[in-house]
Chain A
Amino acid sequence: MSDHATTVSRGGLPVLKPGHTFGSVTDKISSIVQTRQPKSWWFGFAVGFTLLMLFLYTTTYLLATGIGIWGTNIPTGWAFPIINFVWWIGIGHAGTFISAILLLLKQEWRTSINRFAEAMTLFAVSCAGLFPLLHLGRPWVFYWLMPYPNTMDLWPQFRSPLVWDVFAVSTYATVSLLFWYVGLIPDMATLRDRTQNRFAQIVYGMLAMGWRNSARHWHRYQMAYLLLAGLATPLVLSVHSIVGMDFAVAIVPGWHSTIFPPYFVAGAIFSGFAMVVTLTVPLRWLYGLQDFVTLKHLDNMAKVMLATGSMVGYGYACEVFYAYYSGNPFERYIAIDRMLGGYAWSYWGIVICNALAPQLFWVRAIRRNVIWLFVISLITQTGMWLERFVIIVTSLHRDFLPSAWHMYYPTIWDFTEFLGSIGLFLTLFFLFIRFLPMISIFELRELVSDKSE
Chain B
Amino acid sequence: MSQHDGERASKELLAGCMDDAQADGQTACGARHYDWQAIRARLSAASGREYWRSFEQLADTAAFQDYLRHEFPRQAGEWMDAVGRRHFLKLMAASLGLAGSMGCLRQPDEKIVPYVRQPEEVVPGKPLYFATAMTLGGYATGTLVESQLGRPTKIEGNPDHPASLGATDAFTQAAVLSLYDPDRSQTVMHRERIDTWSSFLSALAAELPALKSRQGRGLRILTETVTSPTLADQLRALLEAMPEARWHQYEPCGRDNVRAGAKLAFGEYVDTIYRFDRADVVVSLDADFLWGMPGSVRYARDFVDRRRVAGGDARMNRLFVFESTPGLAGAIADHRLPIQPSEVKPLARALAGRLGVEAAGSDMPANVSQKLLEAVVSDLKAHRGASIVIAGDGQPPLVHALAHAINGQLDNVGKTIEYVEPAEARPEDHAASIKALVDDMAAGEVDLLVILEGNPAYNTPASLGFAKHLVNKRVKLAVHLSQHYDETSFLCHWHIPAAHFLESWGDARAFDGTASIVQPLIAPLYGGRTAHELMSVLLGEADQATFETLQKYWRKQIGEDDFGRFWRKAVHDGVVPETKAPARNVELSFDGRTPQAEEQIFAGGGLEIVFTPDPTVWDGRFANNGWLQELAKPLTKLTWDNAVYISPRLAEDEQLANGDMVELTVAERKLDVPVWIVPGQADGVISLSLGYGRSRAGRVGTGVGFDAYAIRPTHAAWFAKGVELKKTGRRYQLVVTQDHHSMQGRDVVQFGTLDDFQRDPNFLLADHPSKSREDSHRPFDLPSLYPDEKGSFPERKETDNAWGMVIDQTACIGCNACVIACQAENNTPIVGKEQVSRGREMQWLRIDRYYVGDIDNPDTYFQPMLCVQCENAPCELVCPVGATVHSSEGLNQMVYNRCVGTRYCSNNCPYKVRRFNFLNYEAFLHYDTEPQLAMLRNPDVTVRSRGVMEKCSFCVQRIQEAKIEAHKVNRPIADGEVLTACQQACPTRAIVFGNLNDPDSEVARLKKSPLNYGVLAELNTRPRTTHLARLRNPHPDLAAHQTGDTPSLDPRDQKIDKWLKDLEGGET
Contacts and interface: CB of A to CB of B under 8 A. Distances in A.
B30 interface: no
A161 B878 contact: yes
B900 A141 contact: yes
Interface stretch (B255-263, B479-487, B648-656, B1048-1056): B1048-1056
A154 B882 contact: yes
Contact of B1059 (A69, A249, A340): A340
Contact of B740 (A155, A344, A405): A405
Nearest to A157: B882
A184 B1019 CA distance: 52
B743 A402 contact: yes
Contacts of A399: 910, 912
A259 interface: no
A142 to B, nearest CB: 7
A65 B919 contact: yes
- What class of interface size applies to chain B in its complex with A? 35 or more
A148 to B, nearest CB: 12
A400 B849 CA distance: 15
A442 B1055 CA distance: 61
A234 interface: no
Interface stretch (A329-337, A414-422, A427-435): A329-337
A68 B916 CA distance: 10
16 contacts: A67-B947, A136-B901, A136-B947, A137-B899, A137-B916, A160-B877, A160-B880, A162-B880, A162-B904, A250-B904, A251-B908, A252-B907, A329-B744, A329-B1060, A332-B1060, A402-B850
Contacts of B919: 65-66, 68-69
Contacts of B912: 74-75, 399-401, 404
B132 interface: no
A212 interface: no
Interface string B121-145: 0000000000000000000000000
A396 interface: yes
B887 to A, nearest CB: 16
Nearest to B908: A250
Closest 4 CB pairs of A and B: A137-B901, A137-B947, A68-B918, A77-B903
Given A67-B918, A137-B946, A341-B1056, A160 B1019 contact: no
Given A137-B916, A154-B898, A406 B949 contact: no
A77 B904 contact: yes
A401 B1059 contact: no
Given A66-B918, A74-B916, A340-B1056, A137 B908 contact: no
Given A396-B907, A400-B1016, A137 B948 contact: yes
Nearest to B918: A68
B914 A74 contact: yes
A205 interface: no
Interface string B865-908: 10000000010011111100000000000000011111110111
Interface string A177-202: 00000000000000000000000000
A138 interface: yes
Contact of B880 (A163, A336, A402): A163
Contacts of B748: 401-403
Given A66-B919, A250-B904, A400-B910, 16 more contacts: A75-B906, A136-B902, A137-B903, A137-B916, A137-B949, A138-B946, A156-B880, A156-B882, A159-B877, A162-B902, A250-B878, A250-B907, A340-B1059, A400-B746, A400-B1016, A408-B839
A438 B264 CA distance: 97
Interface string B937-965: 00000000111110000000000000000
Interface string B914-949: 111111100000000000000000000000011111
Nearest to A69: B919
A251 B909 CA distance: 8
Nearest to A253: B910
Contacts of B877: 159-160, 249
A347 to B, nearest CB: 12
Nearest to B945: A138
Output the residue of A65, A76, A77, A329 with the most chain B CB within 10 A: A77
Interface string A383-414: 00000000000001001111111111100000
Given A400-B1016, A404-B912, A406-B839, A157 B740 contact: no
Interface of A: 65-69, 71-78, 135-139, 141-142, 144-145, 154-157, 159-163, 166, 246, 249-252, 324, 329-330, 332-333, 336-337, 340-342, 344, 396, 399-409
B835 interface: yes
A400 B1019 contact: yes
Nearest to A164: B880
Contacts of A403: 738, 740, 748, 846, 848-850, 863, 865
B83 interface: no
Contacts of A144: 881, 898, 900
Interface string B557-569: 0000000000000
A157 B915 contact: no
A340 B903 CA distance: 27
Nearest to A141: B900
Given A154-B898, A332-B1060, A72 B1016 contact: no
Interface in B669-710: none
B587 interface: no
A154 B885 CA distance: 13
Given A68-B840, A71-B838, A401 B1016 contact: yes
A329 B878 CA distance: 24
Contacts of B746: 329-330, 400-402
Contacts of A400: 746, 910-912, 1016, 1019
B469 to A, nearest CB: 47
B742 A138 contact: no
Contacts of B904: 77-78, 160, 162, 246, 250
Given A78-B903, A162-B880, A250-B874, A404 B835 contact: no
B739 interface: yes
Given A74-B906, A157-B881, A401-B910, A66 B1019 contact: no
Give the one of B863, B901, B1052, B1059 with max A CB within 10 A.
B901
Given A137-B947, A340-B1055, A77 B881 contact: no
Contacts of B849: 403
A251 B878 CA distance: 10
Interface in B735-781: 738-746, 748
B1059 A138 contact: no
Nearest to A76: B839
A41 to B, nearest CB: 39
Nearest to B884: A157
Given A337-B1056, A340-B1052, A402-B742, A138 B880 contact: no
B1063 interface: yes
Nearest to A342: B1052
A66 B947 contact: yes
B831 to A, nearest CB: 9
B608 to A, nearest CB: 31
A138 B917 CA distance: 10
A73 B881 contact: no
Contacts of B914: 74
A186 to B, nearest CB: 41
B475 to A, nearest CB: 49
Nearest to A246: B904
A401 B1056 contact: no
A154 B895 CA distance: 13
Nearest to B740: A402
Given A138-B899, A154-B898, A66 B920 contact: yes
A333 B916 contact: no
Nearest to B1054: A340
Contacts of A332: 1060, 1063
A154 B899 CA distance: 13
A26 B911 CA distance: 63
A251 B874 contact: yes
B874 A404 contact: no
A145 B881 contact: yes
